[in-house]
Amino acid sequence: MELVKEKKITYNHFLEILRLNEDPNVHGLALDLPESLYSSKLLNAVKPEKDVDGLSSVNLGRLVHGDDCLVPPTVCAVMELLEDIGGKKVLLVGVRGAEGAALQSMLQRQGATVLSCHWKSPQLQSELGHADTVVFGSAKPDDVPASWIKPGATVIYGAHGLLSGKSVLCPAALGPLLGGNMVKNTERWIHSQRHRKWDFHSLKLQPLSPVPSDIEISRAQCPKAVDVLAKEIGLLTDEIEIYGQTKAKVRLSLLERLKDQPDGKYVLVAGITPTPLGEGKSTVTVGLVQALTAHLNINSFACLRQPSQGPTFGVKGGAAGGGYAQVIPMEEFNLHLTGDIHAITAANNLLAAAIDARILHENTQSDKSLYNRLVPVVNGVRGFSPIQLARLRRLGINKTDPGTLTEEEISKFARLDIDPSTITWQRVVDTNDRFLRKITVGQAATEKGFARQAQFDIAVASEIMAILALTTSLQDMKERLGRVVVANDKKGEPVTAEDLGVTGALAVLMKDAIKPTLMQTLEGTPVFVHAGPFANIAHGSSSVLADKIALKLVGEKGFVVTEAGFGADIGMEKFFNIKCRASGLVPSVVVLVATVRALKMHGGGPNVTAGAPLKKEYTEENLQLVADGCCNLQKQIQITQLFGVPVVVALNVFKTDSPAEIDLVCKIAKESGAFDAVPCNHWSAGGRGAIKLAQAVEKAVNQKNNFKYLYNLELPIVEKIRTIAQKVYGAQDIELSPAAQSQVDRYTQQGFGNLPICMAKTHLSLSHQPERKGVPTGFILPISDVRASIGAGFIYPLVGTMSTMPGLPTRSCFYDIDLDPVTEEVKGLF
């Protein structure tokens, strides 16, 4: 409890009260002031939940309405002194302000008749003569004799010069009562730290037919203020950082507060091998949580990846779900959000700049000059920074005085000897720009001829994005950033961000990005949007931290629904073998998304091309095509069963799907080992269209779960690759190029052989050939190269070539995107 005790109130005192309001370590605030200094403005400056005086307007309002609140200590004291006052007449004299209002309310609640007057009132003598109880709030003037008081009346007098033989309240007696309020407030705070059932209110949907565009649907809904949503789901005011009206960062301190709270159920949404159009995993994810929370009254959270702005302006458009199952506001979801990708870009490019700068300075300076600049004299003192001391320890140099290093130790410390030909760390930008796929850096005269070929990747391909998605704490993120390998030295040893001395700076740039962003669905259910790693060269899932926080917030009977990129053979396999290893979390059930359209393609239907009209085979009933294509669905169910997790098939229904086609898919799915198979209409009906799916998921989580990883990390790198290729993809074997084998040998020699595998392969086929649909067999999977993301913690083999910088098409989405200069509304996102 903080006690603000002053004789004169200034603006600085108001600022101090506001500071104490926001201090999470202060749970109660009491003001000790002369009566003349109390004002409504001052009393209301104290947060109601910290107002142990009980005098703020909010607390008084709760008292008058009979709600649970803190009663002012003086009022408590008066009520304790008075015994049965029901039906008695109580006179308040000189009792003013907030305390007077509170006392009057409490007395009336006990059945007393309460009158109030001041010392100069003409009726004072008459009222004193009839009152059974008199409460004096200030010193009695000499011209008011005690004989006016009714004989036998109870008198409570709160000033000095006490009336003989009467009950008296001394100001010193209020301490214990104030302490009682403090105890009550602390008990409330302790209770608030525990998980409690959500006090949730959904937003109503009125779906239209035909279904309007995504942005029209998004604009038609009025989202909740994010602080209201946060309160509904049990977040405390000091656990959120609000960005505008509809977004907020959630602080990691929540994990400590709810560490003893059991986790909810963990649901992964994966899919069959998709068409280039995608089959709606994000839409199913959103529709499922809308059904669970808005319609079945079950706590649930969706955890989604943040989309890159590159595809938003390129070919894909938005990625917030679609129809009546989407995250709102969609333009904020798809554009800058809370700046996480910009933070990743800044951190990534700082590291890239540090690499080239270090090479330049080492190439142009002697050991002594380099050392003197790395460890300069500042204000007459020369010392190593903490990160430099850590480097000395790694080198086996146990010295802390810069002046004691030998020439050999100076050279060893100051020179990284980076081999430019081995640099793997590239600069990034969050724009599709094909002309940055190969560039030359260092062409200015100031770089003294140290030019080299390099490239830009799109920002979400940065290893820092993968680190953000897999990290479990700030400390873990800092350690992962330090382990990032950017190149080899000329002896073939890895050079890390820690060696470059940039780890702390990277962590500073990422300190806000590590916090998940809270948003909401069209029906007001909560969503975490956090991290968006590539699904080919990285694992393609939202963050571990978002999942962990959401699992605590939903409670033991709640559900957290997250998504894996691409088909189950890629996204789900990586989710289990990489993300679950990093998080220690065990999935409860897999929801496998399928569409009649994709199944027809796998059954031999014509090519599906983005932007081109669908052929008639996809818009007319064709049961044979569907039946033939279900082989891919059956294979993906079998892949899920490799991990021992129950699977529910969600058939994402399109208006061109016939009832017979829908029934056929559901029948085959259940016969193939799915716990259930459910047609879903959430795109056109919102959560109501996914109620049956939600009910199926709720039942499936009670099934026996024998979750297991696909391979042991101790296996050699090549054997882990072979296990994935044969057991998941159905390959006959693998074939490594000489370059790939060389890299495997190098990573093994460097001590990285025990990392999990993240296959970079086309998502359009189970094989390495996108045109091979259905379930290809008998193929040899070619591994053209093997690379490593040591900070993120995985090895990624490349199956063929893999672009990390998309290009813009002839007709880019940016042609349709515009801003209304009057309303400031974004147009053209879809």
Q: Which residues are catalytic?
A: 281, 283, 305, 316, 535, 566, 654, 683
CA dist 371 and 413 (Å) reads 8
List, as own/partner pairs, every contact residues 796-801 make where C-beta atoms lie below 8 angstroms and the sequence separation is at least 24, other chains included.
796/537, 796/538, 796/757, 796/758, 796/759, 796/760, 797/721, 797/740, 797/757, 797/759, 797/760, 798/537, 798/740, 798/760, 799/759, 799/760, 799/761, 799/762, 799/768, 800/761, 800/762, 800/768
51 contact partners, CB below 8 Å, separation of at least 6? 29, 43, 58, 59, 70
C-alpha torsion 203→205→211→214, nearest 10:
-10
- Residue 404 C-beta-side C-alpha neighbours within 13 Å: 8
Taking alpha carbons only, the member of 305, 301, 289, 300 closest to residue 337 is 305
For residues 308 and 341, the answer to whether their CB atoms sit within 8 Å is yes
Please give the structure tokens belonging to residue 289.
Answer: 């949580």
CA dist 471 and 514 (Å) reads 8
Output DSSP code: residue 577. Answer: I
CA dist 58 and 439 (Å) reads 63
- Paired strand residues for 219: none
Cα first-last separation, the chain = 52
CB atoms within 10 A of CB 444: 8
Q: What does the DSSP assignment read for 265-330?
A: EEEEEEESSPPTT---HHHHHHHHHIIIIIIT---EEEEEPPPPHHHHHTTS---SEETTEEEESH
For residues 783 and 798, the answer to whether their CB atoms sit within 8 Å is yes
CA dist 616 and 620 (Å) reads 6
Residue 759 class from Cβ within 10 Å (0-12 exposed, 13-18 middle, 19+ buried)? Answer: buried
CA dist 422 and 491 (Å) reads 11
Q: What does the DSSP assignment read for 711-768?
A: S-TTS-HHHHHHHHIIIII--SEEEE-HHHHHHHHHHHHTT-TTS-B--B--SSSSSS
818 SS3 class: strand
Q: What does the DSSP assignment read for 459-479?
A: GGGSHHHHHHHH--SHHHHHH
CA dist 439 and 418 (Å) reads 20
CB atoms within 10 A of CB 631: 17
CA dist 725 and 731 (Å) reads 5
List, as own/partner pairs, every contact residues 767-772 make where C-beta atoms lie below 8 angstroms and the sequence separation is at least 24, other chains included.
767/729, 767/730, 767/731, 768/799, 768/800
Please state whether beta strands 589-594 and 647-652 pair in parallel, antiparallel, or not at all (unpaired).
Answer: parallel
Tracing tokens 């649909």 back to the chain, one arrives at: 773
Range 415-442 burial, b when 16+ CB lie within 10 A, else e: bbebbbebbebbbbbbbbbeebeeeeeb
For residues 648 and 677, the answer to whether their CB atoms sit within 8 Å is yes
